[in-house]
Amino acid sequence: MNGANTTTRHNHSFSVEDVDLVMDASRAGQEREARQSPPSMNGVEVHGLMDEHSDTEELLAGVTREELLQFQEQLPNAVPDAKVLAQSDRRLLSSSHSIRFSPARAATCDAYAQTDPLTFDNLPSQFAARDAIDELPRPGTTHGRRVSDMHGRRRVSEMRNRRASRWRSKKASIHPETDALELDAPKRLQARDNVRRALGRWHLFWYDLRRWWHLKRTRRRDPIPIWSRSIKRIEGYFGSGLASFFTFLRWLFLVNLLISVVYICLVILPMAIRFDYNGITESFQWYNVIDGAGAVGQSWIFYGGYSSIGGYRMDLAYVLVPAGLITACFFIIIRSAAKTSESKSLVQIDARMPFGIIVLASWDYSLNQPSGVENLKSGISNAIKDAIAEDKAQHDIHELKEADWKEKARVYAMRAAAWFIWMLFVAGSFAAIWFVVLEQRFTSVGNNFVETYAPVLVLSFINGALPLAIKRLNNIEHYKHPRTASQVTTLRVFMLRILTIYALLYGFFQKTNFTELQTPVYNGTNSSASITQDDCAGTVIGKEIYKLVLVDTLVGMLQRLAATLFWYFWLKRRVELDLVQCVLHLVYRQGLVWIGMSFSPAVPVVAAISNVRRFCRPPQTRWDSSKNTSFFLWCLGATLFFMAIPLAWALTEYKPNCGPYAASEYDSWFDAISMWITESKGSLRRFFSVVLNPVFMFGVLLLLCMWITMLRIRVQNVRRVVRDTEWELKQTREDKKMLLVALQVKGGRGNALGAPSGESLV
């Protein structure tokens, strides 16, 4: 009985989940033992596994498969080998190429083998072997190991019963030949055990809870629990690419919500309470909600509607809130981007063996919805196609490198031409935007539809149509790699969008400067400003951006609906969602929000509402969703950076004449802060005098620099360690490969390949 127990233990100790060195080595050990302990071991000097192939082959000629199997039965005798194994494992790890068992060691081994098997349980060698196993580098998680450890503790004797043995024997006999290779997969199935059976109700609950927690911790998880179920469902049906898009959308929505809440609490509500509603001269019309004119234009929706109110420093709040929010957004984006490093996609692609992983390990057996299954199927076939394309692209890139100069010149000329065309697009859109902005009259009275919406529509058109044209540019460029092509397109569209926003702002600032709108017509201190609202530059910009966000959403929806219907009825197929374009669109909108929130505090609210979106066909290109999310976030970060520049310029350089600053004599919005500091009293004043002291500032700056330097050094160290570990892993893998080949040689198979690599081992 104890013998059987040891068998399991032994089996168990060397049959952990991965094909690792341990398994290889244990197999080697069994093989060795196969030659030693039975009668066939008749004083033949065993030099080791690899160095003398003629010997081993000779030996193995006598050992049939039955004998090998018999050995597996007699495994208790193998236990002392564990010590040798442990040593050989270490040797293997440290110096990969010399596995030689000295005759002395073989003798020790034999001495062990003659001891009573019962005592082996307590021999330190076994523990040494276990320690050795624990020390081995092991890819993947430790979860499986822990569970199988638990299994190992149970007695096999309890499993001895009629049914179970019948069951087992049935399972054990499916691949006899594989078993002969000491794979003992079915043996491991025997050793598997039901840990949960012995547990009482509470223990079971506790165990399941722990397991659940462990799974939850190790598995992909959702940091934001809102709508996670819907997103999961989307992922199940449409793949992880789209799911990551929605994750991003949710993230954006939450950011907008945060901005909105802060704005509502600190800026909008105080104003809305104290607002002089009698100052609104126009009557309310519903369409004003969209064009931002009339009564809506005179209300606290826009910059011009704000004024200084008693008891609350509106001027201060109005500059501190956007500055604080933009800083906060920077931190949030950087944190989120750093977090999304792990891969989360449905179909995992490993760089070392992409095809094997896709085909053999990516099917999700838990899917039971037909559409989900269809989607995973198409996802997998696309992943395979991508992998083929990637494979081919690698070849093509080599080809291009070796191509003659004529071919090269042609390709590069085409690419230059494509960039030139892109520049033409940008120039054209600049011209269109400036024309529209500078020609437009800034009075809401008597404006017709075209004049009200011209800039907005032009911008929407530019953003709707030009990306499609830019995408076509790829056709003439002949990028060998589809990813490069997609990245170039992304870059172009992204830059186009940022540049159009810049053009728009530049146009507005120019316009407001040109027409000398800052003429001091404000006599009163409060809402008399509403009379001149239409002349207030901040309001003008605010209105435009407000319209832009709203109309952009509407136009986008209409355009998409039209395109979908058109494709559906014309070609009888659904239009494919272009994920990257959608993301860029969202990012662009977010840029508008950031720039617009200072001029119209209602913009974030509108954007948060308009983030609730639509559907069409899921994209067919597979994406690694982790790369996806961080890509989205980096786009967003870049946008925030580019938007912060004009905003900072506006905050510091722009001379305010209306809105919250109408009553004050500030040169810029930031003067509100400096005024506040100079006017502050008591401890606050002392605090500022310390903080703004140059010596103190210098100290802080120095500290920060030191900190950055320290972090850099640490990062470099970590990088070096990672590089070393990778190298070691690579070495281990190669050793494993050689061991495997050597084993196969010994098994009398793979002669062709075995011999040369056997030589390389010596």
- Binding positions for another protein, 182-211, rule CB under 8 A: 183, 185-186, 188-189, 192-197, 199, 204, 211
- CA–centroid distance for 582 within its chain: 18
Contacts with 497 (C-beta within 8 Å, 6 or more apart), sequence order: 463, 584, 587, 588, 591
Phi and psi dihedrals of 347, rounded to 5?
Answer: -105, 115
Go through the chain and tell me how many residues it has.
762
Span 210-249, contacts to another protein by CB under 8 A: 211, 215, 219
Identify the residue among 364, 407, 439, 653 touching another protein (CB under 8 A): 364
Identify the residue among 68, 86, 380, 607 touching another protein (CB under 8 A): 380
DSSP code of residue 312: B
What is the C-alpha to C-alpha distance for residues 623 and 247, in angstroms, rounded to an integer? 14
CB of 20 to another protein, least distance (A): 8
Q: Is 520 in contact with 446 (CB distance < 8 Å)?
A: no
- Range 11-42 burial, b when 16+ CB lie within 10 A, else e: bbbbbbbeebbbbbbbbbbbbbbbbbbeeebe
Contacts with 107 (C-beta within 8 Å, 6 or more apart), sequence order: none
Query: Does 360 contact another protein by CB under 8 A?
Result: yes
CB of 653 to another protein, least distance (A): 53
What is the C-alpha to C-alpha distance for residues 504 and 741, in angstroms, rounded to an integer? 67
Quick one: tokens of 177?
A: 């030949």
Please identify, using beta-carbon distances, which residue of 212 and 420 lies nearer to another protein: 212
Quick one: tokens of 163?
A: 């049914």
Quick one: tokens of 181?
A: 């290779």
Angle, CA of 511, 516 and 519, to the nearest 5°: 140
What is the C-alpha to C-alpha distance for residues 557 and 562, in angstroms, rounded to an integer? 8
Using the contact rule CB under 8 A, the part of the chain among 14-22, 424-432, 644-652, 679-687 near another protein is: 14-22
Please identify, using beta-carbon distances, which residue of 361 and 691 lies nearer to another protein: 361
What is the C-alpha to C-alpha distance for residues 115 and 105, in angstroms, rounded to an integer? 16
Please identify, using beta-carbon distances, which residue of 105 and 143 lies nearer to another protein: 143
Query: Does 520 contact another protein by CB under 8 A?
Result: no
Instruction: Please tell me the count of residues contacting another protein according to CB under 8 A.
Output: 86
Query: Does 760 contact another protein by CB under 8 A?
Result: no
| Distances in whole angstroms, Cα of residue 303 to Cα of each of 104, 300, 592, 719 | 91, 7, 16, 50
CB of 270 to another protein, least distance (A): 51
Query: Does 4 contact another protein by CB under 8 A?
Result: no
What is the C-alpha to C-alpha distance for residues 64 and 711, in angstroms, rounded to an integer? 61
Using the contact rule CB under 8 A, the part of the chain among 230-238, 378-386, 611-619, 685-693 near another protein is: 378-386
Please identify, using beta-carbon distances, which residue of 391 and 667 lies nearer to another protein: 391
- CA–centroid distance for 68 within its chain: 49
Span 163-182, contacts to another protein by CB under 8 A: 163-164, 167-168, 170-171, 174-178, 181
Binding mask of the shown chain, residues 714 to 753, with x at each position contacting another protein by CB under 8 A: -----------------------x--xx--x----xx-xx
Query: Does 158 contact another protein by CB under 8 A?
Result: yes
Please identify, using beta-carbon distances, which residue of 183 and 254 lies nearer to another protein: 183
Query: Does 685 contact another protein by CB under 8 A?
Result: no
Please identify, using beta-carbon distances, which residue of 139 and 428 lies nearer to another protein: 139
Query: Does 385 contact another protein by CB under 8 A?
Result: yes
Please identify, using beta-carbon distances, which residue of 147 and 295 lies nearer to another protein: 147
Q: What is the dihedral of CA 584, 588, 591, 592, to 10 degrees?
A: -160
Identify the residue among 115, 369, 664, 716 touching another protein (CB under 8 A): 369
Span 65-124, contacts to another protein by CB under 8 A: none
Please identify, using beta-carbon distances, which residue of 173 and 519 lies nearer to another protein: 173
Of 604, 669, 563, residue with least CA distance to 306? 669
Q: Is 622 in contact with 239 (CB distance < 8 Å)?
A: yes
Using the contact rule CB under 8 A, the part of the chain among 51-59, 384-392, 639-647, 715-723 near another protein is: 384-392
Using the contact rule CB under 8 A, the part of the chain among 313-321, 381-389, 454-462, 708-716 near another protein is: 381-389
What is the C-alpha to C-alpha distance for residues 577 and 494, in angstroms, rounded to an integer? 18
Query: End-to-end CA distance of the chain, in Å?
Result: 42
Binding mask of the shown chain, residues 23 to 62, with x at each position contacting another protein by CB under 8 A: x---------------------------------------
Binding mask of the shown chain, residues 317 to 356, with x at each position contacting another protein by CB under 8 A: -------------------------------x-x-xxxxx
The SS3 assignment for 137 reads coil
As a whole number of angstroms, the longest Cα–Cα distance in the chain is 115
Identify the residue among 272, 357, 411, 675 touching another protein (CB under 8 A): 357
Span 553-572, contacts to another protein by CB under 8 A: none
DSSP code of residue 283: P
Identify the residue among 261, 361, 565, 705 touching another protein (CB under 8 A): 361
Q: Is 597 in contact with 605 (CB distance < 8 Å)?
A: no
Of 263, 307, 279, residue with least CA distance to 660? 307
Binding mask of the shown chain, residues 134 to 153, with x at each position contacting another protein by CB under 8 A: -----xxx-xx--xx--x--
